[in-house]
């Protein structure tokens, strides 16, 4: 297996352009294309990880064109929760999807979306390494919350902060750990300051995977307020760690967790409902523990041992296929 970066480092005379939006994309594209021309002829199967919209055109679009020139099958691994709008409103998406040798999605949610638009898919879940996540029973259950979603519009971290304010009103010792960064970080910090939560909200920034695992282990409840999602790995990781999960339920999340069984799920853009579910766990730690144990059992379905057979079978099938 060989990996090709879709955002390659530029040659050193041009490296200063990597910090310039749009310009860096224009300059990186030919560098990316040259790496494809070098590597794709040596491959039996071209496995493409895909988001949506322009990144779909600049990634899978270019890759498909090069792979087609060498008669190599392209396996599209599509992850974006924006699939419905992307397929419906971008003719380029439909053009390319019809020409893929196989389309793999990680959730039943995306499988349903693609099916409604006439595209058959294979559902192979995301994978988490259970050896890297320490399952810990939370007894006693403390009001220590963690959110590891980026500060971007779809993840509504400001709603997490708003929900936390309601929790802290009843649990003055409560803490919220925010892991990540993004374009809306200043909005999140402003909301924290406006609610006078500075002393109880800890911003960790972007951290390494090992540090993220340690933060999970130090926390007692995972909270998520996304308004658009697919199969978030962060939720899977929280389940694996034994964190009881409180989340909204957009997109693929109801396919990942079951309300009242493996998580507590509420409507999007309802911080009061999120807070109510957090307080429900804190007031009933026995229920929270049952939820966490069931969540860990669910997470075990996403181990490599349980998923690898599907990938190997698909690779073997495509390896003899030319298109």
323 pLDDT band (50/70/90 cuts)? very low
Whether 26 has a pLDDT exceeding 80, the answer reads no
Provide the pLDDT for residue 202.
Answer: 98
The per-residue pLDDT of the chain, averaged, comes to 93
Per-residue pLDDT tens over the stretch 161-179? 999 999 999 999 999 999 9
Provide the pLDDT for residue 321.
Answer: 56
What are 49's strand-pairing partners? 77
Does residue 27 or residue 144 have the better pLDDT? 144
Determine if residue 71 is left, alpha or beta; phi over 0 gives left, psi from -120 to 50 gives alpha, anything else beta.
left
Q: Which helix (H) or strand (E) holds 248?
A: strand 245-248
Mean pLDDT value of segment 153-161: 97
Which has the minimum average pLDDT: 29-33, 136-140, 226-230?
A: 29-33
Provide the pLDDT for residue 320.
Answer: 80
Instruction: Tell me the pTM.
Output: 0.87
- Confirm if 274 and 159 have CB atoms less than 8 A apart: yes
Domains of the chain: 12-127+305-319 (3.40.50.2000), 130-301 (3.40.50.2000)
Largest CA distance in the chain: 64
Whether 57 has a pLDDT exceeding 70, the answer reads yes
Whether 286 has a pLDDT exceeding 70, the answer reads yes
Whether 11 has a pLDDT exceeding 80, the answer reads no
Mean pLDDT value of segment 151-165: 97
């Amino acid at each position: 297996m060989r990996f090709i970066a879709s955002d390659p480092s530029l040659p050193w005379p041009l490296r200063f352009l990597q910090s310039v939006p749009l310009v860096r994309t224009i300059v990186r594209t030919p560098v990316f294309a040259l790496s494809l021309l070098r590597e794709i002829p040596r491959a039996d199967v071209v496995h493409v990880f895909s988001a949506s919209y322009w990144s779909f055109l600049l990634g899978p679009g270019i890759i498909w064109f090069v792979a087609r020139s060498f008669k190599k099958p392209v396996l599209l691994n599509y992850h974006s929760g924006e699939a419905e709008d992307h397929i419906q409103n971008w003719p380029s998406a439909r053009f390319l999807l019809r020409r893929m040798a196989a389309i793999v999605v990680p959730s039943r949610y995306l499988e349903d979306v693609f099916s409604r638009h006439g595209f058959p898919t294979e559902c192979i879940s995301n994978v988490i390494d259970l050896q890297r996540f320490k399952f810990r029973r939370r007894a006693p259950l403390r009001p220590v919350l963690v959110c590891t979603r980026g500060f971007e519009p779809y993840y509504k971290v400001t709603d997490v902060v708003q929900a936390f304010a309601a929790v802290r009103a009843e649990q003055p010792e409560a803490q919220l750990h925010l892991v990540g960064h993004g374009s809306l970080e200043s909005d999140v910090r402003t909301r924290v300051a406006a609610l006078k939560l500075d002393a109880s909200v800890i911003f960790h920034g972007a951290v390494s995977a090992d540090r993220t695992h340690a933060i999970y282990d130090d926390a007692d409840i995972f909270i998520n307020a996304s308004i658009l999602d697919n199969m978030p790995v962060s939720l899977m990781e929280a389940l694996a760690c034994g964190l009881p999960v409180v989340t909204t339920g957009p997109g693929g999340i109801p396919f990942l967790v079951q309300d009242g069984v493996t998580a507590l799920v509420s409507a999007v853009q309802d911080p009061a409902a999120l807070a109510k579910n957090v307080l429900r766990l804190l007031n009933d730690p026995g229920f929270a523990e049952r939820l966490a144990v069931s969540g860990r059992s669910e997470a075990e379905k996403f181990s490599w041992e349980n998923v690898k057979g599907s990938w190997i079978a698909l690779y073997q099938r495509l390896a003899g296929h030319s298109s």
